[in-house]
Amino acid sequence: MDTILLIILVLLIPATYLLFNLRAGKKQTERSNRIKWKHK
Amino acid sequence: MNSKQALQTFGRSGNPMFSSKTFSETVIEGQIEQMTLQGTVNKVGISLLLVLLTASFTWNQYFLYGASAITGYLWGGMIVGFIFAMITIFKKTWAGVTAPAYAIAKGFALGGISAMYEAQFGGITIQAVTLTFGTLFSLLFAYKTGIIKPDENFRLMLFAATFGIFITYIVNLIMGFFGASIGFIHSNGTFGILFSLAVVAIAALNLVLDFDYIEQGAEQRAPKYLEWYGAFSLMVTLIWLYLEILRLLSKIRSR
């Protein structure tokens, strides 16, 4: 059980890293009702 | 040197320190120092490594010398972590120093807490860590593909729910000083498990707001120091999510 979880974790971490580095799709970024965060 | 040449060399100020090049160079530097998605992701990775490093230290101390050996690290990590979190929130420009310090401090506390749960329920830590990363990946996928779309209503509802949990925990803490507590927070009954499930869901949805903040920061070319601030926000939510999953699993396994 622990070994299976460890294998899943080892696969999840690089997959998350790669996915995080991709820009979000237009369906997300070009919405009119998007929250306007203030970056200052 | 005639007046035209002097103006070109020194600008409108007579002070040679403020030549016409000064501000153009500042602008160029300003353009280089901008928040990027990759920069933020790398800083999240560095923060996670720092947490892992200090957590493994406290974890080993617990299994080598027992619970009394980690009490100082556990409480010290919680308090120092809270102080660094407050500094980061109110002084974002310091995030480059305070966010890694927060990760280091929280690591000491997390290692101790995880070791205590592990001693009671063998294998619970790897289950909680895998579930935390599984949730992170799933919600990241849902956000990037536009399945979950955070808007103002989403933010308001999530803020209300998160604030409600915060108040419940504060009331529980105050009641603890008088030897009482809100039963369902620690109970392994059906209501206790449902409460923990709801808290895990709310903590997980907070990740979506962090993703949106980071994504927009990179889009809007926010200042570089906000990479550390974005990584810090994500770490706060991830640590909260991990602790709630740990609590939920312990409730399920103690039934």
Q: Are B125 and B118 in contact (CB under 8 A)?
A: yes
According to the model, what pLDDT value does residue B16 have? Answer: 44
> Using the beta-carbon criterion (under 8 Å), do B145 and A20 form an inter-chain contact?
no
Q: Chain B residue with minimal CA distance to A8? A: B130
According to the model, what pLDDT value does residue B33 have? Answer: 83
Query: Which residues in chain B have their CB less than 8 angstroms from residue A33's CB?
Result: 149, 151-152
According to the model, what pLDDT value does residue B82 have? Answer: 97
Is pTM beyond 0.80? Reply is yes
Q: How far is CA B203 from CA A21, B56, B147, B163, in A?
A: 22, 24, 18, 11
CA distance B223 to chain A (A): 7
According to the model, what pLDDT value does residue B3 have? Answer: 55
According to the model, what pLDDT value does residue B4 have? Answer: 55
Query: Which residues in chain A have their CB less than 8 angstroms from residue B226's CB?
Result: 39
Non-local (6+) Cβ contacts of B128 within 8 A are: B114, B117, B242, B245, B246, B249
Banded model confidence at residue A13, pLDDT cuts 50, 70, 90: very high
How many C-beta atoms lie closer than 10 Å to residue A12's C-beta? 18
According to the model, what pLDDT value does residue B180 have? Answer: 87
Q: What mean pLDDT comes out for the span A16-21? A: 96
Non-local (6+) Cβ contacts of B17 within 8 A are: none
Asked if B159 has any chain A CB less than 8 Å from its own CB, the reply is: no
B7 beta partners: none
According to the model, what pLDDT value does residue B53 have? Answer: 98
Backbone angles phi, psi at B181, to 5 degrees: -160, 160
According to the model, what pLDDT value does residue B2 have? Answer: 58
Q: Are B40 and B227 in contact (CB under 8 A)?
A: yes
ipTM for the assembly: 0.95
- Average pLDDT of every residue of chain A: 92
Which residue in the set B92, B140, B150 is minimally distant from A20, CB to CB?
B140
Non-local (6+) Cβ contacts of B51 within 8 A are: B103, B104, B106, B107, B110, B235, B239
Look-up of token digits 């500094």: B87
Terminal Cα distance for chain B, rounded: 89
How many C-beta atoms lie closer than 10 Å to residue B250's C-beta? 18
According to the model, what pLDDT value does residue B187 have? Answer: 87
According to the model, what pLDDT value does residue A24 have? Answer: 93
Pseudo-torsion of CA A13, A1, B189, B195, nearest 10°? 10
Asked if B126 has any chain A CB less than 8 Å from its own CB, the reply is: yes
Q: Are B199 and B161 in contact (CB under 8 A)?
A: no
Q: With a cut of 70, which residues of chain B have pLDDT below it?
A: 1-32
Chain A and chain B share a number of CB contacts under 8 A equal to 90
CA distance B10 to chain A (A): 32
The DSSP secondary-structure symbol of B188 reads -
Query: Which residues in chain A have their CB less than 8 angstroms from residue B140's CB?
Result: 16, 19-20
